């Protein structure tokens, strides 16, 4: 642990913060990371300013082109945002990170910042619907070919790669909403294209995609990383070179993170470990209880032995997370009755926050899919996704079992 004196505000000496690089456990890193200011404050300092005084013309032209510069113009970089980015890089085991105005800001920068007309992308069918629309509807408009594969099928990504043409392989694990997993070791071993993984459902205390040879880790930090439903935020982590090259597109795309959201994101990271432990323990209890309910046809949770990729989950996830999905007998009528019957859980589309949320996938998160696409994605009329919150597990389990009784009894 570093105890050297740092120089704080107005040249005053301040005690240095503990150095997160001295600790290997992500929960400890999450508490310590991203304190680049050198000041004595423990909570992140908010810099709402859009711009900064430039010391000289020479310095200005250097600052304008430096992806790591956080005191030139806030669309390019900002000290509060840089603190969140530094924290994420430390947590991901990455050289650098870039924060965005949302998860989709991050995803679209990776896809459109890396790929050009004539390039080819391999992605999985089981994707967050916004990412899927970007790949299926927007990419073809720019002459980018996309092949969608079953991400849970061994060897499927590698088999679809076109040597010399595939620029990007894009995966999401666990995937929204049915918690299908992608084998990260297998993905990381693919040679040629860049590999990006949306790891929103598995924040770094659960899985660090870069440890498996993946090039870019992508998150909607609106979810578990921020963790309080008060920051709309995205982040991409990787080598300094890759992040600098994405920065060149990002400052034109303009989907930079707002300082206030980055501050809330950094505040959320401090409790990441305990939140994920609590949510994972409650989700496991809930998944087991729902599996025994006569009105529930199937439950998808990576921590259940019945999950077809439970062995893979044990290899690449430290915890199984707070997300699960299940299918009610009785189709969409049962789905609607279930949503109407919950008393503690709330019907809303996000995830990873303190409140338990339930979503009827076919009519909310995946509403834009055709019936055929819904079926191919395994989303039925009775599919419910649950994001387990921080309430006591007795209350969460009792509420959802009661709603399942009401919906199917
Ligand atoms: C897996 C995944 N990736 C990306 C996104 C998009 O994130 P945002 O809503 O912050 O743009 C979501 C949103 O639900 C998501 O679930």
pLDDT tens-digit series, residues 309-350: 999 999 999 999 999 999 999 888 999 999 999 999 999 999
pLDDT of residue 8: 46
Give the pLDDT of residue 3.
32
Residue 173 Cβ inside 6 Å of ligand 1? The answer reads no
Assess whether the C-beta atom of 234 lies below 6 angstroms from ligand 1.
Answer: yes
Q: How far is the CA of 22 from the centre of ligand 1 (A)?
A: 32
Residues 303-320 have pLDDT tens digits of 999 999 999 999 999 999
Name the pLDDT band for 275 (thresholds 50, 70, 90).
very high
Of the candidates 149, 139, 122, the residue with the CA atom closest to the CA atom of residue 376:
149
pLDDT at 59 over 70: yes
Helix (H) or strand (E) holding 384: strand 383-387
To 5 degrees, how large is the angle CA 248–CA 190–CA 379?
85
- What rounded mean pLDDT belongs to the chain? 94
- The residues that bridge with 326 in the sheet, in sequence order, are 299, 384
* pLDDT computed for residue 316 by the predictor: 98
Q: Take atom 10 of ligand 1 and give the residue whose Cα is closest.
A: 103
- Kindly state whether residues 367 and 282 are assigned to the same domain: yes
198 an active-site residue?
Answer: yes
To the nearest 10°, the Cα dihedral for 118, 124, 130, 135? 10
Question: Do 347 and 222 share a domain, yes or no?
Answer: no
Report angle CA 205, 362, 180 to the nearest 5 degrees.
35
User: Range with the lowest mean pLDDT among 213-227, 293-307, 328-342, 395-409?
Assistant: 328-342
For residues 263 and 280, state if they share a domain: no
Is residue 235 domain-shared with residue 92, that is, in the same domain? yes
What is the rounded distance in angstroms from the CA atom of residue 205 to the CA atom of residue 27? Answer: 6
Confidence bin at 10 (pLDDT 50/70/90): low
Average pLDDT over residues 192-209: 98
**Cα dihedral 123, 127, 130, 136 sign:** positive
Which residue has the least CA distance to atom 6 on ligand 1? 103
Atom of ligand 1 nearest to the CA of 350: 14
Q: Does the pLDDT of residue 24 top 90, yes or no?
A: no
Q: Higher model confidence: residue 193 or residue 40?
A: 193
- Ligand 1 center from residue 10 Cα (angstroms): 41
Task: Report the length, in residues, of the chain.
Answer: 409
Query: Does residue 229 share a domain with residue 127?
Result: yes
- Buried-exposed string 343-382: b where 16+ CB fall within 10 A, e elsewhere: ebbeeeebbbbebbbbbbbbebbbeebeeeebeebbbbbb
Q: Which of 218, 247, 269 is the last residue of a domain?
A: 269
Distance 44 CA to ligand 1 centre (A): 25
**How much of the chain, in percent, has pLDDT values that exceed 90?**
86
Contact of 336 with 216, CB cutoff 8 Å: no
User: Both 316 and 238 in a single domain?
Assistant: no
- CA 344 to CA 357: how far, in whole Å? 9
Judge if 208 and 330 occupy the same domain. no
Q: Which of 34-43, 163-172, 273-282 has the weakest average pLDDT?
A: 34-43
DSSP-assigned letters across all residues of 200-242 = TTS-TTT--GGGGT-SEEEEETTTTTT-SS----EEEEE-HHH
In the chain the first and final C-alpha atoms are separated, in Å, by 58
- Closest residue by Cα to atom 15, ligand 1, is 128
265 and 302: one domain?
no
CATH code assigned at 195: 3.40.640.10
Listed range (160-169, 329-338, 372-381) with the worst mean pLDDT: 372-381
Q: Is residue 289 located within the same domain as residue 240?
A: no
Q: How many domains does the chain divide into?
A: 2
| 49's tokens | 């300013």
Task: Tell how far the Cα of 103 is from the centroid of ligand 1, in angstroms.
Answer: 5
Of 219, 248, 269, the residue at which a domain comes to its end is 269
Known active-site residue 162: no
Residue 386 above 80 pLDDT?
yes
Structural domain span for residue 26? 5-269
Whether residues 95 and 170 fall in one domain: yes
Tell me: do 186 and 294 sit in the same domain.
no
At residue 97, does pLDDT exceed 70?
yes
| 76 ligand 1 Cβ < 6 A | no
13 in active site: no
Q: Which of 280, 276, 258 is nearest to 268 (CA)?
A: 276
**Phi (first) and psi of residue 281, to 5 degrees:** -65, -45
Whether 178 and 305 share a structural domain:
no
User: What is the predicted pLDDT for the residue at 5?
Assistant: 34
Residue pair 325/385 in contact (Cβ under 8 Å)? The answer is: yes
- How far, rounded to the nearest angstrom, does the alpha carbon of residue 88 sit from its chain's CA centroid? 11
Contacts of 335 (CB under 8 A, 6+ apart): 328, 360, 362, 363, 381, 382, 383, 384, 407
CB 379 within 8 A of CB 178: yes
Q: How far is the CA of 104 from the centre of ligand 1 (A)?
A: 6
For the stretch 225-269, pLDDT in tens is 999 999 999 999 999 999 999 999 999 999 999 999 999 999 999
Q: Which atom of ligand 1 is nearest to the CA of 223?
A: 10
Res 121: pLDDT: 98
pLDDT at 7 over 90: no
C-beta separation of 105 from 234 below 8 A: yes
- Final residue in a domain of this structure, among 209, 237, 269: 269
Distance CA 328, CA 297 (A): 6
pLDDT of residue 398: 98
**Residues 72-87: pLDDT tens digits?**
999 999 999 999 999 9
CATH of the domain at 331: 3.90.1150.10
User: Which residue is catalytic, options 72, 128, 180, 300?
Assistant: 128
The Cα–Cα gap between 24 and 27 comes to: 9
Determine the average pLDDT of the residues in 28-37.
89
pLDDT at 6 over 70: no
């Amino acid at each position: 642990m570093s105890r050297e004196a740092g120089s704080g505000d107005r040249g005053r000496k301040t005690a240095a913060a503990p150095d997160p690089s001295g600790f290997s456990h992500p929960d400890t890193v999450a508490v310590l990371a991203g304190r680049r200011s050198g000041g004595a404050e423990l909570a992140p300092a908010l810099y709402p300013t859009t711009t900064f005084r430039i010391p000289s013309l020479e310095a200005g032209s250097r600052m304008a082109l430096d992806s790591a510069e956080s005191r030139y113009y806030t669309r390019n970089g900002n000290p509060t945002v840089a603190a969140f980015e530094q924290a994420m890089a430390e947590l991901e085991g990455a050289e650098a990170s870039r924060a965005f105005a949302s998860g989709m800001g991050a995803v679209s920068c990776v896809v459109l910042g890396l790929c050009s007309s004539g390039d080819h992308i391999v992605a999985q069918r089981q994707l967050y619907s916004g990412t899927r629309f970007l790949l299926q509807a927007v990419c073809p408009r720019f002459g980018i070919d996309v092949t969608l594969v079953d991400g849970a099928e061994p060897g499927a990504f590698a088999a679809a790669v076109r040597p010399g043409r595939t620029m990007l392989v894009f995966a999401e694990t666990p995937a929204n909403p049915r918690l299908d997993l992608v084998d990260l070791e297998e993905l990381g071993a693919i040679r040629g294209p860049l590999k990006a993984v949306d790891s929103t459902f598995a924040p770094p205390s659960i899985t660090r995609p870069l440890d498996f040879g993946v090039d870019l880790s992508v998150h909607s930090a609106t979810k578990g990383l921020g963790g309080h439903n008060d920051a709309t935020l995205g982040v991409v982590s990787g080598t300094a070179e890759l992040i600098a090259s994405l920065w060149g597109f990002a400052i034109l795309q303009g989907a930079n993170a707002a300082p206030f959201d980055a501050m809330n994101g950094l505040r959320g990271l401090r409790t990441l470990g305990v939140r994920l432990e609590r949510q994972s323990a409650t989700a496991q209890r809930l998944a087991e209880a729902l599996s025994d309910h006569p009105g529930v046809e199937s439950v998808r949770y990576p921590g259940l032995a019945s999950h077809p990729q439970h062995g893979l989950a044990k290899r690449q996830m430290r915890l199984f997370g707070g997300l699960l999905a299940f299918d009610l007998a009785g189709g969409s009528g049962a789905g609607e009755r279930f949503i109407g019957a919950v008393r503690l859980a709330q019907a809303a589309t996000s995830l990873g926050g303190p409140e338990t949320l339930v979503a009827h996938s076919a009519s909310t998160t995946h509403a834009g899919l055709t019936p055929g696409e819904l079926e191919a994605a395994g989303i039925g009329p009775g599919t419910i996704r649950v994001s387990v919150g921080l309430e006591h597990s007795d209350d969460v389990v009792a509420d959802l079992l009661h709603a399942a009784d009401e919906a199917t009894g």
